[in-house]
Homo-oligomer: A and B are copies of this chain.
Amino acid sequence: MSVVQNKQGLDAPLAFLGTIIHHLSPKQIEIIPKGLLIVGVNGKIAVVEKDVADDKVDSLLSQHGLSRHSPTFTVLERGEFLIPGFIDTHNHAPQWTQRGLGRGKLIMEWLNKTTFPHEAKFQDPAYARKTYASCVDGFLKQGVTTAAYYGSLHGEATKILAEICVQKGQRALVGKCNMNREAPDYYVDKSAAESIAVTEDFIAYTRQLDPTQELVTPILTPRFAVACDHDVLTGLGKLAEKNPDLPIQTHFNETLQEMEITKKLYPEFDSEADLYEHFGLLNDRSILAHCIYMDDYDMRRLKELDCGVAHCPISNTTSGVFGVAPVREYLNQDIKVGLGTDSGGGFSSSIIDCMRQAFAVSKARQLDHLQDKPLHFTEMLYLATLGGARVCSLDHKIGNFLVGKEFDALEIHTVGDDAGIITLVEDEDTTEDILEKFVMSGDDRNVAKVFVKGRSVKKSK
């Protein structure tokens, strides 16, 4: 494989008539009851018209070579609507099949006993291909149109993950995981030099695979400072400098145990902010997972450096110690923040589950921070869409339905057989009610169709 498939674009434009919901900013949701959205064959949004009159529909369709009888024209009925695709800002692809295991353990024990033995299996390319295919299909099925993936430490397996994202049409940031210490002999980078060399090779391969970063972008992925010595962080910092288009991801102030070990291993730094900044890894391209134990200094540096926060409420509340990230404060200060499944530290691979647990965490936060209002359900949707796009530095391309952006979207059905036992709509429900019900009680069975750059990527059951 060398270049992205379907580079020529779609066979025909797409058009949707009905309810369209997206965010214009963290505080501004737009619910368009009778909207017309047209996607060009280049996968970009060509038209978004509000409250569109019937004759206007006809003329706009016609201008794009479509009619009401075109197979790619969709009328969204009551209980059906479009939202932007979900963005999973923190996801360990090799942990896909270990979800749910080892919940009682603290982080270092969980890594050594549950996770590392599992990730080590990606040494085998056949296993990697099978498992990553299941993983990418599984996330697409659930509406994750963009994922920021940590791979395993293996170069080859991580190339396979990038290939599969391209093949299956998922937008992704994919990183070879750097970790050359504090890990067992059977699962550790052999040296700092090797760790960096494999990373460079992976970057080169991925640039060839998808030269314009149409779908897949390599991402620098130091697992965390505990697992990376000075040489690895220095090497990655140099790569970050040399490749100013590359995003960077790591774990940040996740648990007290991890923070304590980091202090011991890097006594010269007062904070993880100083540490990662020193190595050139803290900037507007950084995606920092968790960010739970934050003092004023940490908050200020994240804001000043324009870092993004991957809020992972499911793993935060069920692995290690119950952790409550200050999400209201991130929103108040307009620090970039989105949601991460943290699959498999998070037991669920669903961003919808994450939205709900983010709400629960925001209520827990209020217990000792009375001024921090819990999240509104529209804010949960913001975090899952536009918030995540900003965290991944992709908001110029995706995250909402502005004309010119690429069409990454979910067609949500809250009625009909597929909706099953999940979201139940009553006659008197307003569109806001239906959206709230979907956010609070929906699952992947409500995600009827999934589009990435206009391509339909959800396999039927």
Contact = CB atoms under 8 A, between A and B. Distances in A.
Interface of A: 96-101, 103-104, 118, 134, 137-138, 141-142, 317-318, 321-322, 347-349, 356-357, 359-360, 363-364, 366-367, 374, 376-377, 417, 420-421, 423-426, 433, 436-441, 443-444, 461
A100 B347 contact: no
B317 A363 contact: yes
Where chain A touches its partner, the secondary structure class is helix
A433 B141 contact: no
Given A424-B96, A426-B97, A436 B103 contact: yes
Contacts of A359: 103, 318
A318 B444 CA distance: 21
State the oligomeric state as a number of copies.
2
Given A97-B426, A104-B376, 18 more contacts: A99-B441, A100-B437, A101-B436, A101-B437, A101-B440, A118-B426, A137-B421, A318-B356, A318-B363, A321-B363, A321-B367, A322-B360, A322-B363, A322-B364, A347-B356, A349-B441, A357-B360, A360-B360
Contacts of A357: 360
A431 to B, nearest CB: 13
In this complex, the member of A317, A357, A433 whose beta carbon has the largest number of chain B beta carbons within 10 angstroms is: A317
A429 B97 CA distance: 11
A357 B97 CA distance: 21
A421 B377 CA distance: 25
Given A321-B363, A360-B360, A364-B317, A421 B440 contact: no
A104 B366 CA distance: 13
B103 A377 contact: yes
A421 B141 contact: yes
Nearest to A360: B317
A437 B440 CA distance: 23
Nearest to A359: B318
A425 to B, nearest CB: 8
12 contacts: A99-B424, A100-B441, A101-B437, A104-B376, A318-B363, A318-B440, A321-B363, A321-B366, A322-B364, A347-B441, A349-B441, A360-B360
A251 B360 CA distance: 21
A134 B438 CA distance: 18
A444 B445 CA distance: 12
